[in-house]
Amino acid sequence: MNLKLFLERQTSKCLSELGLDNSALVKQSSRPEHGQYQANGVMGAAKKTGQNPRQLASDLASLLQEKNDPNNFELEVAGPGFINFTLSGEFLSKTLHDLEKDPRLGVSLDKKRKILADYSSPNLAKEMHIGHLRSTTIGDACSRILEFLGHEVVRVNHVGDWGSQFGSLLAYMDKLSEAESNLGSELKDLELFYKKATELFKEDENFAKSAREYVVKLQSEDPQCMKLWSQFIAESLDHCQNVYERLGVALKKENTVAESFYNNQLNAVITDLESAGLITLSDGAKCVFLDAGKGRDGEPTPAIVQKSDGGFPYIATDLAATKYRSKALQVDDALYFVDARQALHFKDLFKIAKRAGFIDGNQNFVHIANGIILNKEGKPYKTREGGAVKLAEVIDESISRAKLIVSEKASEMPDEEQKRISELVGIGSIKYAELSKNRTTDYVFDWDQMLSFDGNTAPYLMYAYTRIRGIINNSGVPSDKNKNRFNLTDRSEVKLALKLVQFTESVEAVVEDYNPNLLCNYLFELAQIFMAFYEHCPVNSSEQATKESRIHLCDLTGRVLKKGLELLGIEVLERM
Ligand code: ARG
């Protein structure tokens, strides 16, 4: 049960019985003297009708008291017209018991929208780099959570596999196959391949000519060119898939709907725009003028949808994709997890798509923007030579750094187990570092912070989980979920119980505006509250009923931690 929602509904219902139709806006309160929840919508309601807010709050509180079981919560009118709720121990332990019996830990499964998530979406000309970590992990976590809530999620990897950037690559492939060198092994390092091809383009006039010809051949789908292109794309997709598998990201090859998929829909898109009267010709290019985008000189800047040479830019493909997603897939929402630097692109895209009728009023197409990754000096994270840092190498480094820590902390463990722990800790750490930060701001990539066993990190939470499992295993208490009544006596038990029943609130909060860091914060706070509880409340030395109640609290905390991390795409271990 979502307690916040429950209290909000109760309060709104009573407000409307008093003849007011305001919603009651209940929030969790962080100050214990304000109760555990606080309703603050009363003032707004009073203002509208000119009533005294304190009087209204007290009428409302009496009504709430009358309508609800008096054993559920205590109410207090405070300040200019707030209502503070304090849940009773009995209500809390009953709610906790329901939670314990529920394999979904209180999270309901009643959401039913069809939601497309466009995430990761790298350009295939190069290897995936560190920058792809954000869209990939945030998009993946949000998709998991939406699915868990019951939505139908369509994952799409909108990879860039088309366009002039492939000219040099194809010309270089051609050159290598003529020289009968081992093209296959050269392609294993896509980054180097790209570098060599672009260098040749700059240095060798003949090569540059061939590269330009390849751009044209690609556009006309020349068979020899397409053969090379397919080989390149297959290699690059394998590389991406390997990264996803190592990261435990749920994208599969069948989720790939590449830019080239839309090639044969582009002309129709332009025709649609023309019939909607949106196209203006400017220097031979087809443009859409939007009032919003004003250039430096105050003149409106157009979005070019077809270049004067007939070629189609990035936005044309994206227009075709919005149309396809809306009309063919009939999605309710489409979420684009992409770098904030593309904000203007998406603003134009959605505006044009709406005007052209590709998206209708009930559909939400939104850009879920993320900030970029910085180094400690606050500059974009690059290699020493100024190049992009390969994602595969970030993964390797994280695992080997984790290995160093694990071998120090758990030197007595068998090697195989150390290896397994290092892998999960290494992967978990880089993912959690992404997810726990504010999505929209840039953040500093800091190995020591993310791999630390202290603070809001994956290792801290993974370790907390193993400690809980240890406590339970040592207790000898059977895990019979139906027998126990929670017996919450100590303040730290009540605090832990309240946090546990708020799991569903924190999961649902993530998808209000796609902020996985809200769930991270929740899990971190839960683990801290658990540690405080464990310090104050002896488990194994208590008399049997208390011991059982406390072990059940431990067990539930473990289950919530595990489920929460799983929803973020992070795996836990039973022992480390
Ligand atoms: N391939 C693009 C890039 O690397 C991101 C694509 C995002 N998705 C989209 N539908 N535009 O910048």
Q: How confident is the model at residue 27 (pLDDT cuts 50, 70, 90)?
A: very high
Residue 407, ligand 1, Cβ within 6 A: no
Let me know: does 20 contact 48? Beta carbons within 8 Å: yes
pLDDT at 431 over 60: yes
Residue 539, ligand 1, Cβ within 6 A: no
Let me know: does 520 contact 449? Beta carbons within 8 Å: no
End-of-domain residue from the set 37, 52, 87:
87
Would you say how long the chain is, in residues?
Answer: 576
Residue 163, ligand 1, Cβ within 6 A: no
Of 74-88, 244-258, 378-392, 523-537, least confident by mean pLDDT is 378-392
Residue 320, ligand 1, Cβ within 6 A: no
Backbone angles phi and psi of 177, in degrees to 5: -70, -30
pLDDT digits (tens, 9 = 90+) for 243-259: 999 999 999 999 999 99
Q: What is the pLDDT of residue 62?
A: 95
Distance CA 149, CA 508 (A): 8
Probe target for ligand 1 pocket from 136, 342, 344, 368, with the most ligand atoms within 8 Å of CB: 342
Q: What is the pLDDT of residue 292?
A: 56
Quick one: which of 51, 49, 59 has its CA closest to 17?
59
Residue 434, ligand 1, Cβ within 6 A: no
Ligand 1 atom nearest to CA at 321: 10
Q: What is the pLDDT of residue 481?
A: 58
Q: 115 CA distance to ligand 1 centroid (A)?
A: 18
Let me know: does 287 contact 305? Beta carbons within 8 Å: yes
Ligand 1 atom nearest to CA at 338: 7
pLDDT digits (tens, 9 = 90+) for 350-375: 999 999 999 999 999 999 999 999 99
To the nearest 5 percent, what fractions of the chain are helix, strand and coil?
Answer: 55, 15, 30
Domain range for 195 is 165-251
Q: 337 CA distance to ligand 1 centroid (A)?
A: 9
pLDDT at 482 over 70: no
Among protein residues, the one with the nearest Cα to ligand 1's atom 9 is 158
Task: State how many domains the chain has.
Answer: 2
Ligand 1 atom nearest to CA at 345: 11
Q: What is the pLDDT of residue 295?
A: 60
Residue 321, ligand 1, Cβ within 6 A: yes
- Report strand pairing: 364-370 vs 333-339: parallel
- Report if residue 185 sits inside a domain: yes
Mean pLDDT across 224-246: 96
Among protein residues, the one with the nearest Cα to ligand 1's atom 5 is 121
Distance CA 262, CA 228 (A): 20
Q: Is the pTM of this model over 0.85?
A: yes
Residue 123, ligand 1, Cβ within 6 A: yes
Return the SS3 of 543: coil
pLDDT digits (tens, 9 = 90+) for 273-317: 999 999 999 999 999 998 755 666 667 788 999 999 899 999 999
Q: What is the pLDDT of residue 70?
A: 86
- Report if residue 218 sits inside a domain: yes
Q: 178 CA distance to ligand 1 centroid (A)?
A: 33
Helical H segments across 259-334, by residue range = 266-275, 314-323
- Report if residue 16 sits inside a domain: yes
**Cβ neighbours, 10 Å, residue 487:** 16
Let me know: does 422 contact 438? Beta carbons within 8 Å: no
Q: 157 CA distance to ligand 1 centroid (A)?
A: 9
- Report if residue 449 sits inside a domain: no
- Report if residue 44 sits inside a domain: yes
- Report if residue 123 sits inside a domain: no
Specify the higher pLDDT residue, 296 or 476: 476
Q: 467 CA distance to ligand 1 centroid (A)?
A: 42
Q: How confident is the model at residue 116 (pLDDT cuts 50, 70, 90)?
A: very high
Residue 368, ligand 1, Cβ within 6 A: no
End-of-domain residue from the set 251, 269, 299:
251
- Report if residue 176 sits inside a domain: yes
Amino acid at 238: D
Quick one: which of 146, 164, 163, 165 has its CA closest to 155?
146
Mean pLDDT for the chain?
A: 93
Q: Which long-range contacts (CB under 8 A, 24 or more apart) does 307-312 make?
A: 308/283, 308/284, 311/164, 311/219, 312/266
Structure tokens at 197: 């091809």
Structure tokens at 500: 């546990």
Among protein residues, the one with the nearest Cα to ligand 1's atom 6 is 121
Residue 121, ligand 1, Cβ within 6 A: yes
The structure tokens 């009504």 sit at 63
User: Residue 31 is part of a domain; what is its CATH number?
Assistant: 3.30.1360.70
Of 119-128, 339-348, 384-393, least confident by mean pLDDT is 384-393
Amino acid at 510: V
Residue 118, ligand 1, Cβ within 6 A: yes
Residue 426, ligand 1, Cβ within 6 A: no
Residue 165, ligand 1, Cβ within 6 A: no
Q: 349 CA distance to ligand 1 centroid (A)?
A: 12
Q: Could you tell me the maximum CA-CA distance found in the chain, to the nearest angstrom? A: 89
Helical H segments across 78-131, by residue range = 89-101
Return the SS3 of 6: helix
Probe target for ligand 1 pocket from 121, 329, 344, with the most ligand atoms within 8 Å of CB: 121
Q: What is the pLDDT of residue 183?
A: 84
- Report if residue 503 sits inside a domain: no
CA 260 to chain centre: 26
Q: What are the beta bridge partners of residue 300?
A: 294
Residue 459, ligand 1, Cβ within 6 A: no
End-of-domain residue from the set 37, 68, 87:
87
Distance CA 307, CA 426 (A): 46
